[in-house]
Structure 1
Amino acid sequence: MKRLLKDPVLIFFVLGALLFVLFGLLQREESTPIVLSNGAQALLVSEWEMLTGRSADSNDVQRIVEDYYERELLFREGLSRELYASDPSIRELIIELMQQQVTGEILEPSGKDLVNFYTDNIDRYYSEATISFTQRLFRDAPQAPDQLLAQLNQGDVIGDDQLWQGKDFPNYGVSMIRGLFGQSLLEVLEEISIAEWQGPYQSAEGWHYFRVERRDKPVLLSFERVKDQVMADYQAEAVSAAVEAFVETKRAAYPLETGSR
């Protein structure tokens, strides 16, 4: 074997053969054909005729085929240039398509499966805590805030600056209140005394006086009331479990590296 490797003529032919094979592979990669079968072409023509409302002649067919060719060529070039790596929307679409490939068809759960899922995850199916309250809002800081507060508690009618939220908020969920007023004012409404005007509390919109009428704690919603949500949650967990199992099988092939590089 060592004598053969010392033979310059043999080495020349071996290297030549390797270069020939490599060149052939590269050429094949560069000239991968774009195949449009008769069946696929007929489907494209049928879709075109359905959209346009007329039969395609030979020129129309040629344009349909050329359009397919151009789009397929651009698609392949886009893949080769890894455009998907720089576009978050395309990355998300690919991830979603892979999730669908991994999970396949989710089996329809039985009624017993859903009830068991509901009871195993009962904390998910409580209503949101609510607060019923009234507000008076002033764009500018009141000149005599304590006097104004006393007037409100005496039942006096006070003119205020009405904004888009309104004045009365019956049975508003805490997430809605947070969206309307922000976290800091939600915390105020969760803590102040019931049936008594209090304030003012400042926000970006002005100064608020609040009177909380009642607070209702979360209550458990019946299975029948949340059955659709239970179904959605059940399927979401099934997808998540399938994806996690798939990722575990591929973890060795994609080692995670963290930190600065």
Structure 2
Amino acid sequence: MTRAIAPQSVEPVMQSGDRRGWRAPLSRWASEPFVHFLLLGAGLFGAYELTQTRHAPLKDRQQMVLERGDVEHLRSGFAAQWRRPPSDSEMQALVDDRLDEEILYREALALGLDRDDTVVRRRLAQKTAFLLQDVASLREPSAEELAAYRSHHALRYVQSPRWSFEHIYFSSASRRDKAERDAVRVLETLSSASARFDVETLGDASLLESHQHDQSETQLRELFGPDFASSIATASAGPVGEWTGPFRSSYGWHLVRLQARADVPRENTGELEGRLRADWGEDQRRALNAQTMARLRARYNIVVNTSSTP
């Protein structure tokens, strides 16, 4: 005879089977070394976060002082922009922003962010160079020193006539040995009494403006080269308003129509002395800056590795 099984005896067996079903994978998972590593890392991270989020003891905190002058500078800056004084809440916001900026600045320095940014490095170097300028040691030059300085740099202060003219450019780079011949041919055309041309369409394009106004011989030497400057000085003795040339420059050949000539102005003693003093002072600053940099370099053992191998 078959004996019936009570229903309540089945449920414990099924529950026991279920516990064995999920305990076995958990046991295998917990025995993995990788899991131990993750748990250890999570614990360390949690401990670090806990210690970092706690407030540092008062004795270990950095001192940060916003002086009265700094606060007044914030207040006056707001008033200048908005045409009214800031309210209490606005003033507090200005102070908070200033403090946050200082905190972030200090944290950036602590992280060394200033060392990896070319713009920041250059700006800091420029500010330091300005602060190191020994301006206090500059003195007023004597009359003898100014005279000697002018004699040594005579070309800077040469008084010369000035010319205004129009020119047509023929490039030696593009036309090569044809540049001068092309200029001569165009000059013959321009000299014809019946010829009417738009000179802007003749010749070649140039970075030098076709109309030059009130240029000295020194300026012409810098722009066009010494040969061209000498040619203009010679040609200026001729009639005004006629095309002449061609004249050679550092870039090619030019046809020139002189429009105006200003004679050598009478030397203004006051203006000249002012220029001399300013130039003398600038040269003195450069010399002092060079001496300062030499002293700073002496503090360092400088090594420049030019080897291509590591």
- Which category describes the TM-score, using the shorter chain as reference length? 0.5 to 0.7
Determine which of 53, 65, 68 is the counterpart of 1:35.
Answer: 65
2:250 maps to 1:197: no
Check whether the contact 1:114–1:230 (CA below 8 A) recurs between aligned residues: no
- CA shift at 1:70, angstroms? 1.4
Aligned equivalents of 2:115, 2:278: Cα separation in 1: 30
1:198 corresponds to which letter in structure 2?
A: G
The corresponding residue for 2:98 is 68
Which structure's relative contact order is higher, taking Cα pairs within 8 Å and 6+ residues apart? Answer: 1
Check whether the contact 2:165–2:260 (CA below 8 A) recurs between aligned residues: yes
Cα shift readout 1:58-106 (whole Å, capped 9, x = no counterpart) = 4223212211111112322343434366334762563244333341435
Aligned equivalents of 2:134, 2:121: Cα separation in 1: 20
Check whether the contact 1:103–1:243 (CA below 8 A) recurs between aligned residues: yes
The corresponding residue for 1:126 is 158
Aligned equivalents of 1:155, 1:177: Cα separation in 2: 30
SS in 1 for 2:215: strand
Structure (1 or 2) with the larger CA radius of gyration: 2
Instruction: Write the mapping of 1:112-261 to structure 2, written as runs, cut at 5 A.
Output: 112=143, 115-116=146-147, 118-123=149-154, 124-127=156-159, 133-136=165-168, 147-153=185-191, 157-162=195-200, 165-166=209-210, 169=212, 171-173=214-216, 177=220, 183=224, 187-188=227-228, 190-191=230-231, 194=235, 197-199=244-246, 208-210=254-256, 223-258=269-304, 260-261=306-307
Name structure 2 gaps, 5 residues minimum: 1-56, 202-207
Instruction: Go from structure 1 to structure 2 and tell me whether the alpha carbon gap of 1:148 and 1:253 turns closer, same or farther (over 3 Å shift).
Output: closer
Instruction: Go from structure 1 to structure 2 and tell me whether the alpha carbon gap of 1:227 and 1:96 turns closer, same or farther (over 3 Å shift).
Output: farther
Aligned equivalents of 1:209, 1:55: Cα separation in 2: 65
Instruction: Write the mapping of 1:89-128 to structure 2, written as runs, cut at 5 A.
Output: 91-92=122-123, 94-109=125-140, 112=143, 115-116=146-147, 118-123=149-154, 124-127=156-159
SS in 1 for 2:298: helix
Q: Normalising by the residue count of structure 1, what TM-score does the alignment of the two structures yield?
A: 0.58
Aligned equivalents of 2:249, 2:153: Cα separation in 1: 38
Instruction: Go from structure 1 to structure 2 and tell me whether the alpha carbon gap of 1:212 and 1:63 turns closer, same or farther (over 3 Å shift).
Output: closer
- CA shift at 1:149, angstroms? 3.2
Deviates more, 1:237-246 or 1:206-215: 206-215
The corresponding residue for 2:117 is 86
SS in 2 for 1:253: coil
Q: Normalising by the residue count of structure 2, what TM-score does the alignment of the two structures yield?
A: 0.51
Check whether the contact 1:117–1:234 (CA below 8 A) recurs between aligned residues: no
The corresponding residue for 2:49 is none
The corresponding residue for 2:4 is none
Name structure 1 gaps, 5 residues minimum: 1-26
- CA shift at 1:152, angstroms? 4.1
Deviates more, 1:157-166 or 1:234-243: 157-166
Check whether the contact 1:189–1:212 (CA below 8 A) recurs between aligned residues: no
* RMSD between superposed Cα atoms in Å: 5.0
Check whether the contact 1:106–1:235 (CA below 8 A) recurs between aligned residues: no
| Count of residues in correspondence between the two structures | 228
Check whether the contact 1:202–1:208 (CA below 8 A) recurs between aligned residues: yes
Aligned equivalents of 1:51, 1:146: Cα separation in 2: 64
- CA shift at 1:260, angstroms? 1.7
Deviates more, 1:192-201 or 1:122-131: 192-201
Aligned equivalents of 1:60, 1:170: Cα separation in 2: 55
% same residue: 18
Check whether the contact 2:228–2:247 (CA below 8 A) recurs between aligned residues: no
Check whether the contact 2:132–2:292 (CA below 8 A) recurs between aligned residues: no
Aligned equivalents of 1:106, 1:37: Cα separation in 2: 31
1:61 corresponds to which letter in structure 2?
A: M
Aligned equivalents of 2:194, 2:229: Cα separation in 1: 22
- CA shift at 1:248, angstroms? 2.8
